[in-house]
Amino acid sequence: MATKTKPQYTGKRHRLDRPELLAPAGNLEKLKFAVHYGADAVYIGGQQYGLRSNADNFTFEEMKEGVEFAARYGAKVFVATNIYAHNEDLDGIEDYLRGLEEAGIAAIIAADPIIMDTAMRVAPKLEVHVSTQQSTMNWQAVQFWKDEGAPRVVLAREASLEEIAEIKNHVDVEIEAFIHGAMCSSYSGRCVLSNHFTDRDSNRGGCCQSCRWKYDIYEDDIQLFGMDEDKFTMGSKDLCMLENIPDLIEVGVDSFKIEGRMKSLHYVATVVHAYRRAIDAYMADPDNYELKEEWLHDIQKAANRPLNSGFFYDTPGAEDHIYGPEDKAAPYDFAGVVLSYDAETGLAVVQQRNHFKPGQEVEFFGPNGTSFKQIVGELKNEAGEPLDAARHPLQPIVMRVERPVQPMDMMRKRIRP
């Protein structure tokens, strides 16, 4: 894992009974897999008022289905309504918030005070969580939001563990913090580069991720270097606090938030599963907790950028940004989802998600203990006809598996060393 030497927090501790693991869900399928793989709650976007306008956002009908599925696992569903609203954005906001309440949504994540106030007035069953877009970093600001009626504040990504400890020492309120995923090059999302370059407003859901672009650098019309010589970006390394779960728990973070509503199904399931195991292991026996290398290895199977610990221990420096060519993408590719398994024959039906064929090594994993590798053998379609490869998207493939598997277990294949 491309992080610094593991830091240690030595400040005041505020141990929790059990922190919440909060996962992103860009669509209904991702919601179901996030919950199945261990999320205590998921956050989604609706058709309006969210900051991921390019995600497969939820209709009210899909929200209801997602809420019902999550409830079977004892999980909750939150909706991001975190734009900074202009006048024209507010038409229909009351009906929209009432619709969220009727769908069974547990909370909204909001940044604009008028959206918060409107929700408290017209949809009182909805909790209002203050979005990270508010860049909240001190205990007095947290106290302000508590006094306004918010039971939870999502802190700015720039808040350190020491600052979190001070907040918890002064204010009895739930604290949510991002603990994994992409970091913004601006101050907790307050970016206008996207607006200037593409006329897409990052604070109204249209960010073009201009901090990830390649740039030529000039001074007084002299090119210092450019895309032909090097890659220069403003992109920071991704956040990963898997190695620091004890510090997050002990300092009092109530909700561990994973970034990534635009990320793949494989990414969401893999990351949630790794954090679920780490959190449960620590809570079961804090004095004898040990970080397992397999959890770190699993994170690397889904990571797209180098990783670090963000602002939790110190201010990121030059080594925490990506200035040269990025590392290669994750070494594994999502290949399939188990639909069913016959214990008598040892045959599984796997829904194809990416090309695979006989002779390739694949790995099965799942939240209930499935974890093994094997070489793909004979493949057939549901009619029993032999296949030389699984090449058609979502095609059910019949294949023999060397160990028992369960529905919603995943299969991935190695694509590079």
Question: Average pLDDT in the 15-22 region?
Answer: 87
Domain membership flag for residue 225 = no
Label residue 137 by pLDDT band (50, 70, 90).
very high
Distance, C-alpha 361 to centroid of its chain: 28
Q: Which residues does residue 181 pair with via DSSP β-bridges, in sequence order? A: 239
Domain membership flag for residue 383 = yes
Domain membership flag for residue 204 = no
Which of 320, 344, 366 is the last residue in one of the domains? 320
Give the residue numbers spanning the domain of 88.
20-183+236-320
Give pLDDT tens digits for 167-186.
Answer: 999 999 999 999 999 887 77
348 and 270 belong to one structural domain: no
- What does DSSP say about strands 76-81 and 379-380: parallel, antiparallel, or unpaired? unpaired
pLDDT for position 179: 98
Give pLDDT tens digits for 197-218.
Answer: 888 776 655 677 777 777 777 7
HEC sequence for 182-233:
CCCCCCCCCCCHHHHHHCCCHHHCCCCCHHHCCCCEEECCEEEECCCCCCCC
82 and 169 belong to one structural domain: yes
316 and 397 belong to one structural domain: no
Average pLDDT score, the chain: 89
Asked if 321 and 15 touch (Cβ cutoff 8 Å), the reply is no
374 and 276 belong to one structural domain: no
More confident residue, 215 or 89: 89
Domain membership flag for residue 179 = yes
349 and 277 belong to one structural domain: no
Label residue 50 by pLDDT band (50, 70, 90).
low
56 and 135 belong to one structural domain: yes
Identify the top-confidence range among 9-23, 50-64, 237-251: 237-251
Domain membership flag for residue 10 = no
Q: How many domains does the chain have?
A: 2
Label residue 262 by pLDDT band (50, 70, 90).
confident
Which of 290, 320, 350 is the last residue in one of the domains? 320
316 and 410 belong to one structural domain: no
pLDDT for position 2: 43
The CATH number of residue 56's host domain is: 3.20.20.70
Is a pLDDT exceeding 80 seen at residue 13? no
30 and 122 belong to one structural domain: yes
Label residue 57 by pLDDT band (50, 70, 90).
confident
| Token pair belonging to 89 | 């954005």
Asked if 124 and 100 touch (Cβ cutoff 8 Å), the reply is no
Is a pLDDT exceeding 80 seen at residue 304? no
Is a pLDDT exceeding 90 seen at residue 359? yes
Q: Position of tokens 């501790």?
A: 13
Domain membership flag for residue 276 = yes
Asked if 405 and 341 touch (Cβ cutoff 8 Å), the reply is yes
